[in-house]
């Protein structure tokens, strides 16, 4: 499922989720807050495909990467038992940030269900914001040919 | 806690939440997805202060108001047992939408924890988008002097 | 993974889950309440292996099957990223009930993580308790040779 | 709301919760797993009335108190916006355990919604089970006259 375009500034992962009963609300559609779990599932799966950027790796390198900004657009509802594909795209940036875009499609008809994006920054273990990208992050970018 | 400014296009509600143990993650801070619950708590509390815009009222009027857009900015973490004030502001718009802004502050030091906003549209019970504001919504605005 | 013993009063399903970041608490272990989601994942997977007992099937037959009793014993913690096997066993009973037993084991060392069981009853769509097993349930048992 | 009977082996706390929209399922009733949050709300409120047994106190004393056993009986559903009273009862035991009983009643009609109980044990920070009640726990019992 790996895909890097020629400009090499986007890495893409796709993973599938299935809607749980506990995730739908009284309208029988997925409660809007659950999509942040799906985005996290997407980042998780992305991390398995492009190792080195998981919570564990980041902690070991002496950093944390709190989310500072997130946005979601809801296009169509998901129902109980629906399967959906989460596409997670790493968007390269010169700044000391980790930026992802998300696109969730219903498997049945490939219809877009939700779009979103997130921004993470780097802090040390005391929570101090890092203005420059940590070494391990630069190396990770180099390894995956993201410039 | 009611406040309408002279321009009468903003209605404000404030409510307090206390961070539950089950809401914090392994960093001992509130997991970022929980803030969408806090925003919902804010809308709920807003609905109690300015009755007529709750899920029940909307359903009875023959409509649903799905969220189509939401954004969050995280400024500072909340920890277990922290108390925080959610300020929910109704932002008037000419279009057939319900727009809220959110500001969450830690009670202890009044520091901003998170900001956000949400947009809801109107559909009928079959999910058909309504291009014009329903009668009950126009009356609700009139009642609360929002123009 | 299907297994029915000679006495034919137990049906077993096994499914795997992986611990999500949002499921662990500040001790870095799965929050105890999350196990009820895992049990539900287990019932869901069971329903796929032995079709006819899913929420949808039950609703279509004119019934609901609320949980009336649940118990959990916690033997060992699960951590972020751990994989675990949920074994869900249908325990036959003469009464108008659906009884499951659950056993969750860490994949890494096959250690038991949690045990549990649940009991569901049948009600009609008005919530009236059914004292006799519905026809569709008896047929389902017959189909899977559970007596 | 404090109540200790003559035998002095039960301490009781009562607190109120209101059902959130995100807590109900597609049947419009509280999803069964949410009750473990309500029980935790109950323990939390209990800890405020009888200080010294909160997560923080326990951690500072060098211990953790993982839940090892929990059971729930569901008697009647709660709906969106319902208010309910959680009664949390500390049940004294000679062994090195913390035992609570829970009773949740709908505020409207005082009808029992759910019953439950939980058992916690003591471990040190390395997770080693403590066979004897820690000093701070014995002192807490003495302070609240529980024998």
On whether the CB atoms of residues B114 and B75 are closer than 8 A, the answer is yes
Our CA dihedral for B78, B79, B82, B88, rounded to 10 degrees, sits at 20
Q: Are strands D67-74 and C10-18 parallel, antiparallel or unpaired?
A: unpaired
On whether the CB atoms of residues C49 and C13 are closer than 8 A, the answer is yes
* Integer Cα distance of D89 and D3 in angstroms: 10
Mean pLDDT, range B126-139, rounded to an integer:
94
User: What is the CA angle C57-C63-C69, rounded to 5?
Assistant: 100
Q: Nearest-CA neighbor of C70 among D115, D28, D87, D89? A: D115
Mean pLDDT, range A89-109, rounded to an integer:
96
Query: DSSP 3-state assignment of B21?
Result: helix
Per DSSP, the residues of D108-121 read TT--EEEEEEEEEE
Provide the pLDDT for residue D147: 75
Contact D36 C37 (CB under 8 A): no
Mean pLDDT, range A139-146, rounded to an integer:
92
Provide the pLDDT for residue B122: 96
Q: Rg of chain D's alpha carbons, rounded to an integer?
A: 16
Classify burial at A126, counting beta carbons within 10 Å of its beta carbon; exposed 0-12, middle 13-18, buried 19 or more. Answer: exposed
Mean pLDDT, range C44-71, rounded to an integer:
91
Provide the pLDDT for residue B8: 59
C 67-86 residues inside an 8 A Cβ radius of D: 67-75, 77
Provide the pLDDT for residue D144: 92
Q: If DSSP states are collapsed to H, E and C, what string results for chain A?
A: CCCECCCCCEEEEEEEEECCHHHECCCCEECHHHHHHHHHHHHHHHHHHCCCCCHHHHHHCCEECCEEEEEEEECCCCECCCEEEEEEEEECCCCCEEEEEEEEEECCCCCEEEEEEEEEECEECCCCECCCCCHHHHHHHHHCCCC
Six token digits for residue B9: 């296009």
> What subunits make at least 3 CB pairs under 8 angstroms with B?
A, C, D
* Integer Cα distance of B92 and C40 in angstroms: 42
CB-CB neighbors (< 8 A) of A21 in chain C: 40, 44, 55
Please tell me which of the candidates B21, B40, B80 has its beta carbon nearest to residue D20: B40
The residues with which D73 forms a beta bridge, in sequence order, are: C69, D115
Is B19's Cβ below 8 Å from some Cβ in C? no
Interchain CB contacts (distance < 8 Å): A and C: 22
Mean pLDDT, range A7-35, rounded to an integer:
90
Provide the pLDDT for residue D8: 59
Taken in order of first residue, the domains within chain C and their CATH numbers are 10-140 (3.10.129.10)
Provide the pLDDT for residue C2: 45
Provide the pLDDT for residue D71: 98
CB proximity list for B24: less than 8 A, separation 6 or greater: B30, B31, B79, B80, C25, C26
* Integer Cα distance of C105 and C35 in angstroms: 12
Contact D33 C33 (CB under 8 A): yes
Q: Nearest-CA neighbor of B116 among B70, B75, B72? A: B72
pLDDT tens digits for range A26-67:
888 999 999 999 999 999 999 999 998 887 888 889 999 999
On whether the CB atoms of residues C97 and C67 are closer than 8 A, the answer is no
Nearest CA in chain C to B23: C25
What residue spans of chain C are helical by DSSP H? Answer: 35-49, 55-60, 135-143
* Integer Cα distance of C21 and C28 in angstroms: 9
User: What is the CA angle B54-B55-B61, rounded to 5?
Assistant: 90
Query: What does the longest C-alpha to C-alpha distance in chain A come to?
Result: 47
* Integer Cα distance of A62 and A125 in angstroms: 6
On whether the CB atoms of residues D64 and C27 are closer than 8 A, the answer is yes
On whether the CB atoms of residues B20 and D44 are closer than 8 A, the answer is yes
Please tell me which of the candidates C20, C37, C80 has its beta carbon nearest to residue A22: C37
CB proximity list for A94: less than 8 A, separation 6 or greater: none
Please tell me which of the candidates A22, A41, A56 has its beta carbon nearest to residue C20: A41
* Integer Cα distance of B54 and B102 in angstroms: 17
* Integer Cα distance of B91 and B4 in angstroms: 11
Chain center to CA of D130 = 21
Is B51's Cβ below 8 Å from some Cβ in C? no
On whether the CB atoms of residues D67 and D31 are closer than 8 A, the answer is no
The percent of residues above 70 in pLDDT, for chain D, comes to 95
Mean pLDDT, range B61-90, rounded to an integer:
96
What ipTM does the predicted assembly reach? 0.91
Q: Taking all residues of chain D, what is their mean pLDDT, rounded to a whole number?
A: 92
Mean pLDDT, range A90-101, rounded to an integer:
95
Six token digits for residue B6: 């002279």
Query: DSSP 3-state assignment of B43?
Result: helix
CB proximity list for C76: less than 8 A, separation 6 or greater: C106, C111, C112, C113
Six token digits for residue B130: 């309504």
B26: pLDDT strictly greater than 90: no
pLDDT tens digits for range A80-89:
999 999 999 9
Chain center to CA of D78 = 19
Provide the pLDDT for residue B1: 40
First to last CA, chain A: 21
pLDDT tens digits for range B87-105:
999 999 999 999 999 999 9
Query: DSSP 3-state assignment of C147?
Result: coil
Provide the pLDDT for residue A53: 87
Q: Among residues D5, D9, D25, D41, which one is catalytic?
A: D25
* Integer Cα distance of D124 and D128 in angstroms: 5
A2: pLDDT strictly greater than 50: no
Q: Among residues A25, A57, A109, A126, which one is catalytic?
A: A25
On whether the CB atoms of residues B115 and B73 are closer than 8 A, the answer is yes
């Amino acid at each position: 499922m790996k895909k890097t375009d020629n400009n090499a500034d986007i890495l893409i992962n796709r993973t599938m989720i299935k809607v749980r009963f506990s995730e739908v609300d009284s309208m029988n559609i997925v409660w809007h807050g659950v999509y942040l779990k799906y985005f996290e599932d997407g980042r998780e799966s992305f991390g398995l495909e492009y190792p080195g950027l998981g919570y564990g790796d980041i902690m070991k390198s002496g950093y944390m990467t709190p989310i500072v900004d997130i946005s979601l657009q809801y296009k169509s509802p998901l129902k109980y038992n629906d399967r959906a594909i989460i596409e997670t795209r790493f968007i390269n940036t010169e700044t000391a940030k980790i930026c992802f875009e998300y696109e969730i499609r219903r498997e049945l008809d490939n219809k877009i269900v939700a779009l979103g994006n997130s921004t993470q920054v780097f802090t040390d273990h005391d929570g101090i914001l890092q203005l420059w990208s940590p070494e391990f992050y630069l190396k990770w970018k180099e390894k995956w040919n993201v410039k």
